Amino acid sequence: MAYSQKLKSDVKCIVNEIVRKWDSTEIYIPFSADLAIEYMLYFMEGKKIFSCDDNPLANLMGTFYSGKKIHVALKQELEKEYDWLLPYMKSDTDKLATAMIVHSMAMYVKDEGKHPYYERMAEAYRKQWSDLHKTTKAKIEKRRQFLEEYHVGNPLEWLQNAPENIGVVLHADAPINRKRALRSSRNLTKIFDISTEPSFKYSDDLLADVAVETMNKREWAIVSPDMILGDGMDELIVGKIKSTNRAYTSYVYANSDQRRIVTPRQGIGRAKYTCLGLGDEVGNEMTIAVLSSKMFRMLRSKYMNEGIRPGSASLSVGVFVDGLLVGVFAFSVNEFVTHDKNVETPVIYMLSDFPVEPTDYGRLAKLVLYAALSRESQLLVERLTRRRVRTVNTTALSENPVSMKYRGLFKLYNREKFDVTKESWAKELDRSNAYYDRPYELQYAAPIGQWTLQEGLELWKQRYGQKGGKKEGD
């Protein structure tokens, strides 16, 4: 896609409810991006959808879904290098599918030739191109024409020239997200003769001007990840959506009387494991087991530092010794996780790791890390990601320049001074939360698959298995 606006389902429901009550039959959507809003509103009876943007892939999609011919051709100087794409560029549907796949593989193409991992990923795309193209083309063909008109150009000028008696839905996304999208789309213009560079620079000022122009129309709604209209405009907020504890609050502004609010609600499971406790000895056989999301959330709420905002895990795993639960670790699959150039890729991010408590062992957290770095853990991760995984990395906020929990097993590859007041994601954070007032942000990494679970248990007993000692915490 051009870039995913990633509208939450609750946001879509609120916008849908608002627009259905409008008298306006012509709905204008500036900054169309992935056409998500347009496609959602298309199914409303009696509504005609108009869209505008100036992003290379968005232009192709918008032109195609408005029933017009698209122009996609290999650049003349690259025809020999990319001639293998020509059989997949016969019809307009073929061309759009090809452009969408090239866009999705852009993160690997940009580093092709510089790193073996990115070379392999790009080559994998080429080997599977036929199947990818067939699947993408089928998805495109399922959607019939749903745009009345698509305009390539500046959305502000487009709205200024639009009639007054229309409805407007604006997704006021952050400029940094738009800039990332533009960088990815430029990979298309390196290979294909598609269009010129965008005719405008997306900025906070432009977004504010478009928001004002939107509010000048007969009926309007603005979706924003922030309170972009500023103080004194609270009466225009008709929706507040915070679907998870770590998610930003999204706001819906509109000249509407309805009010909606969505707050986080996470289900938890019932405890069904016996945990290591005071007086219990760590046994002789270590195993791991995948946990359900509800069970992970229950254990995290019970044992992890309550100051840490919970994230969404892709894989959560319980660590057992002789059948007793001793801790939990969880991974998150994130293609765009950052890491040091010396860290061997592919990488999996460890979102969470914690031991049960209270116990007689101050360094039980180290045993959880031994399990997370085991070969058995590596097999679970590779089954999840469907590719090789070489390294685990994680982040720790610490009162000290090093984290005693990770020291000895993980390598510190980045240390930065941390000031939570300067972090954009922390604007909604409770300032009484002492965990995020720690002065150091530490990045750690370690090879995965270094030992078996049984070998890891023996190593832990030799080095850290004595009772007592200060707990090594978060």
CATH tag, 286-464: 3.40.630.30
Return the pLDDT at 67: 93
Residues 232-261: tens digit of each pLDDT: 677 888 998 887 766 678 889 999 888 898
Q: How confident is the model over 207-215, as a mean pLDDT?
A: 85
Q: Can you tell me the distance from the alpha carbon of 338 to that of 414, in angstroms, rounded to the nearest whole number? A: 11
Residues of the chain with pLDDT > 90: what percent? 42
pLDDT value of residue 22: 93
Class (C level, CATH) for 9-67+145-262? alpha beta
Residue 430: the pLDDT is 63
Residue spans per domain, the chain: 9-67+145-262, 286-464
Q: What is the pLDDT of residues 272-304, one digit of tens each?
A: 889 999 999 999 999 999 999 889 989 988 888
Q: What is the mean pLDDT of residues 444-451?
A: 95
Q: Whole-angstrom Cα distance, residue 162 to residue 159?
A: 5
Claim: this prediction has a pTM higher than 0.85: no
pLDDT of residue 78: 81
What band does 31 get if pLDDT is binned at 50, 70 and 90?
Answer: confident
> 473 with 405: CB under 8 angstroms?
yes
Distance CA(249)–CA(228), nearest Å, equals 12
CA 193-126-70 angle, to 5 degrees, is: 30
Please give the pLDDT value at position 269.
Answer: 73
The mean pLDDT value for 203-212 works out to 80
Q: Give me the chain's average pLDDT, please.
A: 84
- List pLDDT tens digits, range 297-342: 899 888 887 767 767 889 999 999 999 999 999 999 865 455 556 6
Instruction: Give residue 440's pLDDT.
Output: 87
